[in-house]
Structures are given as structure tokens and as C-alpha cells.
Amino acid sequence: MAPLKNSIKKCGSRRSQNSRAGFGARESEPDANSSNPKHIAIIPDGNRRWVSKNRTKLHLGYSLGIRKAIDISLLAKKQGVKMLTIWALSTENIKKRNKNELGLLYRLYAVTAKDKDILETLRKNSVRVKIIGNLNILPAGLKKALSFLQAKTKHYKDLTINLLVGYGGREDIEYMIKKIRARLASNPNASLSSIDSYLRTAIVPDVDLIIRTSGEMRLSGFLPWQSSYSELYFSKKYWPDFGEADLKKAIKTFSERSRRFGK
């Protein structure tokens, strides 16, 4: 466990040149434009390809990816973003990825969730973390660590990070249908005016901007309900290389678009 924790800490010196986030430092007052997105969702893709490109070890790529998520969250907060939704681990990952690779991810997430420096960074910046997904398919140790992280940050208010773990868009819809069927079975006359309240992601509001890294130009089932009118931004950079300039470019692109919501 110690080597994994150390690898996360060492990643602070490995950030790309276009990321100047001061990890652990309190952010200054937002310099956000009113047209900037308030809710950004991210598909942080390309960690393994970054590892292959840089001929390094997988745990370093994943460690950098985790650290990058924290850095980008603080940078987004500086730009006036109030909520960030990050897809940390999909149900497809859990079903199809190599068990050794999954075990590494589980351990890294568990270590990160209880890391004192990271918890202090979240406290200083008043960042709340909510864990969303089918936690029953996760190892007990990881589930406990994530629950600890959520409880530890529940009173913070400046930025909310929705961390999707054990999440899949189709599975979320299936979950909603099962909940509705159970509801109607017990009460056939029940009102279903807000069917989205039955989703696992019911607490996640509609997304303004979705960012996917690594050059892939698809959503892969990401937040199908909340993404109906989201603006999409695809970056060719692998997630560990995605930095401050890239985030600002995505936000600038968003601010220049006209959102008509079907009008």
C-alpha cells in the first residue's frame, strides 16, 4: 500500500507544462465569465495510452490521472464551475478489464480517498465529494474508503464533485425502470411525473459541458439523461496531459456557442 501512496504524492512533480495548478493551495476568487459552464462532466480517457506512449508503469499513469482530476477540479472552481462530474470507473471496466489492473485501480482509489494531504486540500477549498454508482459491485475495502471520503467532505459547499464509480449509462436506465416497476407494483396509481428521480444519478443535474480526452469522439453511455442538451468538447490529449490551458480552451469554446434548448 505504501508504494502506491508514494506514487500518488510523487505525481505532483510530473504534471505537464500547461498545468500550473498549485496543488493544495487555496484558489483565489473566481475570474469566471457569466457565460461559463456551471456544471462540467469529464470522461478522463487515455491513461493507459499515456503509459504506453511514455513507456512507464501503469500505476504511475493511473496515479497521475487521479492527481490530474484533483488539479482540474480546483482549476474549474477558479473558473466559476460549481459542480464537476467525473467518470472514475464504469461498469464495463469492471466486467472487461484485467483483474490485476482492476485491483491496482481499486487500491489507488482507496489510498487516495484517505490520503491526509488530499483531504486537507479538499477542506481548504471546500470541495464536497459525492460517490455515485453501484457500490455493491466494488470490493468492501474500496466501498468503505469511498464512503469515508464522502462523509468527510459532506459539509463543504464551494464545489461539488460527483465521482461516478461502478457506473454505466444503460445500467442506470435499467435501474430506473426496475425502481419504477417496483413502485407501480405497490401503488398502481403512483405519479411518475419525475421519473428521473429513480435514477442512480438522480442527484446529478443536467450537464452544461461534457469533456472527453484522448481523441475519442463518443459518450459511451455517459449520463444519457443529463446530457440531452450538453455541449460536447473532445480533446486529443490523453488525460494525464490535459492541463489548465486545455480546460480554459474547452470553457472558451463553450462560452462562444449558442444554446437554444430546442427553441
SS3 assignment, position 40: strand
229-240 burial by CB neighbour count: b if 16+ within 10 A, else e?
ebbbbbbebbbb
Domain limits, the chain = 2-26+33-168+206-255
Q: How many CA atoms lie within 13 A of 175 on its CB side?
A: 18
User: pLDDT value at position 111?
Assistant: 97
Give me 186's grid cell.
Answer: 405497490
Strand partners, 39: 83
Amino acid in position 61: G
Give the predicted TM-score (pTM) of the model.
Answer: 0.86
pLDDT tens for each residue of the chain, 263 residues long: 555 555 555 555 454 444 433 334 433 344 445 589 999 999 999 999 999 999 999 999 999 999 999 999 999 999 999 999 999 999 999 999 999 999 999 999 999 999 999 999 999 999 999 999 999 999 999 999 999 999 999 999 999 999 999 999 999 999 999 999 999 999 998 888 889 999 999 999 999 999 999 999 999 999 999 999 999 999 999 999 999 999 999 999 999 998 887 77
Residues with catalytic function: 45, 93
CATH class of 2-26+33-168+206-255: alpha beta
Strand partners, 131: 163
User: pLDDT value at position 221?
Assistant: 95
